[in-house]
Structure 1
Amino acid sequence: MNDEKFTLIAPCHFGLESVLKREIQDLGYNIINVSDGRVTFEGDSKAIARANIFIRTAERILLKCGSFRATTFDDLFEGVKDIPWERYLPRNAKFWVTKATTNRSALFSASAIQSIVKKAMVDRMSKTYHTSHFDEDGDEYPVRIFILKDEVEVTLDTTGVSLHKRGYRKLVGKAPISETLAAALIMLTPWRSDRILVDPFCGSGTFPIEAAMIGANIAPGLNREFTSDKWLKFMTKKEWYEAYDEAASLEKTDIEMNIQGYDLDSEMVKCAIQNAKEAGVDKYIHFQARNVRDLRNPKPYGFLITNPPYGERLEEKEALPELYNMIGESYRGLKDWSMFIITSYEDAERYLGRKADKNRKIYNGMIKSYFLSYMGAKPPKRKPTNGE
């Protein structure tokens, strides 16, 4: 629409900032800052559409409207009132503070922060629109406030329903891994679409489905809507249409992949098949009810990427040594394969039978988890054929 630049913030799982940073750079945007669980970058209004549609590893895309220091509620009120809300919100906008987080700050009552921010916004908009009454019967503009060490950051949530809700996962089992986390973990591995990928604990199919979407270059937000796709004060519908068209044009429809998902529970396998259909990737994945001890594959250089049970309940914990032993044994039977496991089970490496080549700490929600990497041999480089 114009060359105006915006500051955008993409929150993510702690420990996955490097993957998200790479995604944003691949879209062509400048990184402003990387901190724990978030990447801040700069982009034009079209960047809001492209980031929401293309990024696999962020939880949402926030538009930064202002920042200032506040140690009192008066400071907060004045700081929010100084933000040019008329630049973003039309007169009939429905606006509210959907979340306020505060850490190591004088202001700590989330409900009081929410209430004062709303009052300050109304005060500012009253002067612009010459009314003290707002019907709020228009499009939604959810506000999110972050206060860290008395520094306030005021943002608009451009996403709405979190980005991990791709729209394909209609059916889930217990403790499913989120789509954004699964995509980020796959992207932390050297897996490429021409290599075999097996998830022996596939549950509702998230790892295989996200891998197939990455391999076929299907944008994760292609088949869903976003809160900001109706914001017309500083964006246009045309920018959204162009971003969706760009995403659709980049999909690889002629690709072949060997992706497999197994689970002991045949009902979960049915869920996974249905979810893969919803995502439009069922042709790339073979799902089957199978025990991890029966994992065999004659081909070398494959990838095992999985989220095995890690014993939330006591009786499950007692079964873990045998289960992880079994995973280790099956892995040792695969020639030159690499294995990547996310688990919060502290003794995982011990029972897998080998220390991981790399152990990365990742927070899965509030659960401290470990992403264990076991690197197999690299396949030999292909000799170029004539004409290449």
Structure 2
Amino acid sequence: MKEEFELIAKTFQGLEEVLAKELTELGASNIEVGRRMVAFTGDKEMMYRANFCLRTAIRILKPIKHFEAKNADEVYEAIKAIAWEDFLDKDKSFAVDAVVFSNEFRHSKFVAYKVKDAIVDYFREKTGERPSVRINHPDVALNIHIAENKCTLSLDSSGESLHRRGYRQEAVEAPLNEVLAAGMILMTGWKGECDLIDPMCGSGTIPIEAALIARNIAPGVFRKEFAFEKWNDFDQELFDRIYNDDSQEREFTHKIFGYDNNPKANEIATHNVKAAGLSKEIILKIQPFQQFEQPKEKSIIITNPPYGERISTNDLLGLYQMIG
């Protein structure tokens, strides 16, 4: 029997139920929806698959200790009591990310320093040596979450946020986050049964995420690395099997159309679509929204209209009247 353990998938507010459905389809157990997160249990293979396959997760955390603390000194003592050689070698690097919702702990950076000090002191007292702290691309990434006095220390199995798929070559100003784009599409229930149109596609995020969903291609296939690949217990053979398994991919017999009135956006979107290897599925065209014609066949329209820094208030009102 493979060892199962607790895992936490982080996401954006509003996408928790979508993520929970994804986890159910992936075969995760004991799924519990929280605020901007979904807790579940699974084995090492499930952890690898969650990173590789989930479209609406930002990162996958593996909790290693739950404890209560009233102040920073109690956090230090609890962290120092962990058998750190199980997770980290003295010649490896690590980083600590702190998320704090508490009146007791006002500054997340101070909490992160306390965790770092506890780990460094643990190794120094045991071995006379210490692991180094590296903010970018550490060997082991840690996350401490504090809500009032309840603390959870986790290993971050993802590393760089999972929205960074790896296919984006360039971006327009204020591009749509890939996880949000996938969430928008999954919320409609569309899986490729008809054409999909994005009349304001910018750098092509919605068309690309839609094509990945339609073909059932895992979003992790473009990633250069996941944090768990640097862990002591990394199973290369298991991960290779997951990475090379394309048995769930399917044909897509319809088309995805992406329009934008900005030639530069069209050029960027074309680069991104090509990088994702989805030129066959996605048709891009320079076309203003005013020229958009209702398709003859059944289609679905999903778009992220400009707002905020991308458009003035007067233009915005006119655009939304036109959409209506």
Distance in 1, matches of 2:120 and 2:70, equals 21
Give unmatched runs, 5+ long, in structure 1. 329-388
Mapping of residues 308-327 of structure 1, within 5 Å: 308-312=305-309, 316-327=312-323
Within the candidate set 247, 259, 270, 1:249 is matched to: 247
1:119-146 CA-to-partner distances (Å, cap 9, x unmatched) read: 222344456xx41212549961011111
SS at match of 1:161: coil
Distance in 2, matches of 1:192 and 1:219, equals 14
1:28-47 CA-to-partner distances (Å, cap 9, x unmatched) read: 11134211100111111122
Say whether residues 1:143 and 2:142 are aligned partners. Answer: yes
Distance in 2, matches of 1:115 and 1:200, equals 47
Distance in 1, matches of 2:222 and 2:180, equals 19
Distance in 1, matches of 2:40 and 2:124, equals 31
Residues 235, 105 of structure 1: alpha-carbon distance in 2 compared, 3 angstrom cutoff: farther
Aligned to 2:303: 306
Mapping of residues 111-260 of structure 1, within 5 Å: 111-126=109-124, 130-136=126-132, 140-224=139-223, 225-232=225-232, 234-246=233-245, 248-252=246-250, 254-260=251-257
Task: Decide which structure has the larger Cα Rg and report it.
Answer: 1
Q: CA deviation at 1:311?
A: 3.9
Residues 83, 157 of structure 1: alpha-carbon distance in 2 compared, 3 angstrom cutoff: same
Mapping of residues 1-388 of structure 1, within 5 Å: 3-97=2-96, 99-126=97-124, 130-136=126-132, 140-224=139-223, 225-232=225-232, 234-246=233-245, 248-252=246-250, 254-312=251-309, 316-328=312-324
Q: Is the 8 A contact 1:71 1:105 kept in 2?
A: no
Of 203-212 and 100-109, deviating more is 100-109
1:204-251 CA-to-partner distances (Å, cap 9, x unmatched) read: 00001000000011100012111111213x3311121121122x3322
Distance in 1, matches of 2:218 and 2:173, equals 26
Aligned-partner residue type, residue 101 of structure 2:
N
1:337-371 CA-to-partner distances (Å, cap 9, x unmatched) read: xxxxxxxxxxxxxxxxxxxxxxxxxxxxxxxxxxx
Q: Is the 8 A contact 1:73 1:107 kept in 2?
A: yes
Quote the RMSD (CA, aligned, Å). Answer: 1.9
Distance in 1, matches of 2:151 and 2:39, equals 15
Residues 281, 241 of structure 1: alpha-carbon distance in 2 compared, 3 angstrom cutoff: same
Residues 322, 135 of structure 1: alpha-carbon distance in 2 compared, 3 angstrom cutoff: closer
Q: Is the 8 A contact 1:31 1:39 kept in 2?
A: no
Q: Is the 8 A contact 1:60 1:157 kept in 2?
A: yes
Distance in 2, matches of 1:21 and 1:267, equals 37
Give unmatched runs, 5+ long, in structure 2. none
Q: CA deviation at 1:22?
A: 0.8
Residues 5, 84 of structure 1: alpha-carbon distance in 2 compared, 3 angstrom cutoff: farther
Distance in 1, matches of 2:295 and 2:36, equals 40
Distance in 2, matches of 1:73 and 1:36, equals 25
Distance in 2, matches of 1:145 and 1:67, equals 10
Aligned-partner residue type, residue 76 of structure 2:
F
TM-score, scaled relative to structure 1: 0.78
SS at match of 1:203: coil
Distance in 1, matches of 2:92 and 2:25, equals 33
Higher RCO, Cα 8 Å, sep 6+: 2
Q: CA deviation at 1:53?
A: 0.6
Residues 96, 311 of structure 1: alpha-carbon distance in 2 compared, 3 angstrom cutoff: closer
Q: Is the 8 A contact 2:59 2:156 kept in 1?
A: yes
Percent of aligned positions with the same letter in both sequences?
Answer: 38
Distance in 2, matches of 1:169 and 1:121, equals 36
Q: Is the 8 A contact 2:24 2:31 kept in 1?
A: no
Q: CA deviation at 1:274?
A: 0.9
Residues 5, 89 of structure 1: alpha-carbon distance in 2 compared, 3 angstrom cutoff: farther
Of 79-88 and 130-139, deviating more is 130-139
Q: Is the 8 A contact 2:201 2:303 kept in 1?
A: yes
Residues 213, 74 of structure 1: alpha-carbon distance in 2 compared, 3 angstrom cutoff: same
